[in-house]
Structure 1
Amino acid sequence: MQAALGRKARIPAIFRRRGDPLTVSENERRVLEIVRRSGVTSRADLTRATNLAPQSISRLIEALMKRGLVEFGEKRIRGRGHPGLAVRLTRSAVYAVGLSIRTEGADLAVVAFDGQVLAERTLSPSSMAVTDVIAEAQAQLDDVFTVLDLDRRRLFGFGLAMSGFFTVEAGRMNPPDPLAHWSVTDLEQTFMQAMDLPVWLENDGNASAIGESLCGVGLTHPSFAYLYFTYGLGGGVVLDGSLVRGAFGNAGEFSAMLSPETHARRPTLESLRRLICEHGVEVVSIADLQARFDPDWPGVSVWLDRVKEPLSDILSAISGVIDPSAIVFGGQIPRPLAERLIAGVQFHNRARRGETRPTPALLVSAVRGNAAAIGAASMPLKYAFFQ
């Protein structure tokens, strides 16, 4: 099942009224993607990277500039010849908002066109009912745009991320038990009507993988697997810069690799929280675990030993089936815990004639802040403007 809007974004009415719809051609996408990855580049660099004629690059840049998507910066000197004008994304061209629905709450992020995270907010709705979360998200979004003095008319799209898997019904997800009441709602339509914006819906693992692709490890590793550690264990797969969603939108459900016997020992932060509490340290939530984590807490070493084997099985399966250059440890996992997990696991990789298969680098997420909310905010930009 593809998200209702897929890669063809519905353009907000404000842009249609201006007679300046923010739709981009495939060649414009190529140019925007190169500029995004480079930060700043030149027309000469774009010509070399795309194999398009210099005249074609000039026309593409001119068209993108007329729509306010790129701008010229300072001149750049590359080797011999005259310096060229630097081309960069226009930060204020459009903004996108992302909302991450967790089992314990919700988080909001606002991202600019160039990927800069402008704001992050932890929401405090009166309840986790859909209507209460929407009301709190609207209030926080209004406040962000007021405080930062941003042009609300340039708010382009809304990304929604939630734990769970997609069902066969469009716009619906089956979340963990604490969010069971969200499963009966067509989330895309509900949020589209409430926010008056095009909406992209993904599970939190896929959303975080998109954010990592745009702002983190994906800048140096176009093909990677993303492990999303939270109440459960999910993730996402990015190959050559594109998210792999699968037939039903549920690719990256790495816990499904485990047998029923091993599944109980999967590395979830909820299982760690409970084990720490059993050892006498009160940790009231996963957010509390993330904020106060101490590697020396009693129970942490026990948990690491317990999950080492099933996590090694998952990593080995990812390496053998997907063959990415990196596997990213992300989600809500504290960095010191991720580093200890990485140090303790191993790939099942038999040598042949003294050689083993190349295996992915194991890396901690390079995205700072709330991975799912930032990833959700990145989705409208990724699907509407970049490759």
Structure 2
Amino acid sequence: MDEAVRPAGEGRPSDDDERLRGSNQAGLRAHNERAVLSLIRRHGELAKSEIARLSGLSPQTASVIMRSLENDGLVLPGEPRRGRVGQPSVPMRLNPDGAFSLGLKLGRRTSEMVLMDFVGRVRESRAILYRFPRYAEVLAFVTDAADALRATLPPLLRRRLSGLGVGLPFELWAWGEAHGAPPGEMEEWRRPDFAGELERATGEAVFLANDVTAACGAEQAFGTGVSSHYVYFFVGAFVGGGIVIDGSLVSGRTGNAGALGSMLVPAREGRQRQLVHVASIHVLERLLEEAGRSGVELWRKDADWSDLGVHLDAWIAIAAEGLAHAIAGAVAVYDFEKAVIDGSFPAGVRRRLTEATADALARLDLQGLPPVAVAEGTIGRSAREVGSASLPFFAKFLLDHRVLLAER
């Protein structure tokens, strides 16, 4: 089993650290409880007999664990199922109020913090919009938003907060001019202990991940698309990606697997450019500003983009061509079943971009490559926030580490 995930700033376990190893009674119990919670999360609800069969635990052990989880408020009984003989079985499901988490998406144009319950439902949110992220402004927003979101819970449920998950672009200070930031303004994000400052500001344990890694993890953990092998694109201010193989999000040797925004793709001016300069929303923002229009509305969650007309049409054509070449390159390396596209745009735009990408891919020379479907993501604009909020749950309650943490 992989090394246990841990909050940012916590030291690497020593050789005799038995947390989640199953090498003593307490460790075994923790492991088995996480295994049971993970199974229930995947299946929605399970009876004790099904849990014993799927986990390999004895029926008696499964019953003991279920009683413990029910006493802790993490699971709830469902409606009894009556069979032909014997007592009816009672399926168990996760208790939405069993645990809560805060999730922060720190973006290049917006930051948003959500309060999420144990079944992945966002209860409340707070957001801030800016031209580029200023360190002090973002830290003040995080402090105020955490207080406001905690206050929406009754006092007893506040004790069930599991921590703050944070999804942010690694090397946020890069491409500062593309943010519209003055030279050197983004350098303040090089501070070495951002997670520590967040912990002190919010009083919560902090768990870090790349923002698009978190989005891909949300798709894998909470999405409705069924696939164990796919390449994932999230189109935000800058496009990024993730890789899922055998149902697990792959981090790679250096933690940078799925850096799809850096893939070289043909550009219309006859040279190659990185995908980030072709299929990102900042490209559409620039098109609008060159036409004398403001791009601010692109970043509002309630914006429907219906009045963007020919500018949106042009951007979709450019982005789809770039995404198609990136998909072809990815499939040449690994035989993915699907390419999943999601992003910070309305569902109708996502559908158009997905369809245009599939059409562009069909026009490429794919001889020798396996067929790959192009599909819409199922989480939508909130994928990065949901993925970030899931980080504390994966660290504290679940075994299937679909979202991979980064050390501080």
Q: Give the TM bin, normalised by the shorter chain.
A: 0.7 to 0.9
Q: Distance in 2 between the 1:160 and 1:263 partners? A: 26
- Does the aligned pair in 1 maintain the 2:335–2:370 contact within 8 Å? no
1:234 paired residue among 224, 233, 240: 240
For residue 74 of structure 2, what is the amino acid of its counterpart?
L
1:141 aligns to what SS in structure 2? helix
For 1:29-68, what aligned pairs fall within 5 Å after superposition? 29-68=34-73
Aligned residue in 2 for 1:16:
none
User: In structure 2, do the counterparts of structure 1 residues 369 and 310 end up closer, same or farther at CA, with 3 Å as the change threshold?
Assistant: closer
2:126 paired residue among 121, 137, 142: 121
- Does the aligned pair in 1 maintain the 2:264–2:274 contact within 8 Å? yes
User: In structure 2, do the counterparts of structure 1 residues 271 and 79 end up closer, same or farther at CA, with 3 Å as the change threshold?
Assistant: farther
User: In structure 2, do the counterparts of structure 1 residues 277 and 130 end up closer, same or farther at CA, with 3 Å as the change threshold?
Assistant: closer
2:295 aligns to what SS in structure 1? coil
Moved more, 235-244 or 87-96: 235-244
2:353 aligns to what SS in structure 1? helix
2:324 paired residue among 312, 335, 338: 312
- Does the aligned pair in 1 maintain the 2:109–2:129 contact within 8 Å? no
Instruction: Report the alpha carbon displacement of residue 159 of structure 1 after superposing the two structures with TM.
Output: 0.8
1:75 aligns to what SS in structure 2? coil
Aligned residue in 2 for 1:88:
93
Aligned residue in 2 for 1:327:
339
Whether 1:8 aligns to 2:6 is yes
Q: TM-score, normalised by structure 1?
A: 0.82
Consecutive unaligned residues of structure 2, counting only runs of 5 or more, are 11-25, 180-185, 266-270, 401-408
Moved more, 121-130 or 94-103: 121-130
Aligned residue in 2 for 1:253:
259
Aligned residue in 1 for 2:197:
190
For 1:278-357, what aligned pairs fall within 5 Å after superposition? 278-284=290-296, 286-288=298-300, 291-294=303-306, 297-345=309-357, 346=361, 348=364, 350=366, 357=370
Question: 1:332-385, CA deviations, whole angstroms, 9 ceiling, x for partnerless residues?
Answer: 133222222222231556457xxx7242x3222212552212211111112322
Q: Distance in 2 between the 1:110 and 1:24 partners? A: 29
Aligned pairs, number: 364
Instruction: Report the alpha carbon displacement of residue 322 of structure 1 after superposing the two structures with TM.
Output: 3.7
Question: 1:299-343, CA deviations, whole angstroms, 9 ceiling, x for partnerless residues?
Answer: 222223333332111112233334333332123133222222222
Report the identity percentage.
Answer: 26
Instruction: Report the alpha carbon displacement of residue 277 of structure 1 after superposing the two structures with TM.
Output: 3.3
- Does the aligned pair in 2 maintain the 1:124–1:136 contact within 8 Å? no
Q: Distance in 2 between the 1:266 and 1:71 partners? A: 48
Question: 1:11-46, CA deviations, whole angstroms, 9 ceiling, x for partnerless residues?
Answer: x9xxxxxxxx99973332221111012222211221
Q: TM-score, normalised by structure 2?
A: 0.78
- Does the aligned pair in 1 maintain the 2:111–2:129 contact within 8 Å? yes
Q: Distance in 2 between the 1:131 and 1:22 partners? A: 41
- Does the aligned pair in 1 maintain the 2:298–2:305 contact within 8 Å? no
Aligned residue in 1 for 2:227:
221
- Does the aligned pair in 2 maintain the 1:295–1:336 contact within 8 Å? no
Moved more, 252-261 or 123-132: 123-132
Question: 1:167-204, CA deviations, whole angstroms, 9 ceiling, x for partnerless residues?
Answer: xxxxxx65541444212342222212222222111121
Q: Distance in 2 between the 1:342 and 1:135 partners? A: 37
For 1:13-32, what aligned pairs fall within 5 Å after superposition? 25-32=30-37
- Does the aligned pair in 2 maintain the 1:34–1:46 contact within 8 Å? yes
Q: Distance in 1 between the 2:336 and 2:84 partners? A: 34
Q: Distance in 1 between the 2:235 and 2:84 partners? A: 46
Q: Distance in 2 between the 1:202 and 1:256 partners? A: 18
Instruction: Report the alpha carbon displacement of residue 251 of structure 1 after superposing the two structures with TM.
Output: 1.8
User: In structure 2, do the counterparts of structure 1 residues 237 and 80 end up closer, same or farther at CA, with 3 Å as the change threshold?
Assistant: farther
2:249 aligns to what SS in structure 1? strand
User: In structure 2, do the counterparts of structure 1 residues 46 and 146 end up closer, same or farther at CA, with 3 Å as the change threshold?
Assistant: same
For residue 351 of structure 2, what is the amino acid of its counterpart?
E
Whether 1:262 aligns to 2:273 is yes
- Does the aligned pair in 2 maintain the 1:233–1:268 contact within 8 Å? yes
Whether 1:158 aligns to 2:168 is no
Aligned residue in 2 for 1:112:
117
Consecutive unaligned residues of structure 1, counting only runs of 5 or more, are 13-20, 166-172
Q: Distance in 2 between the 1:127 and 1:304 partners? A: 24
- Does the aligned pair in 2 maintain the 1:94–1:112 contact within 8 Å? yes
Aligned residue in 1 for 2:406:
none
Q: Distance in 2 between the 1:241 and 1:129 partners? A: 37
Moved more, 74-83 or 232-241: 74-83
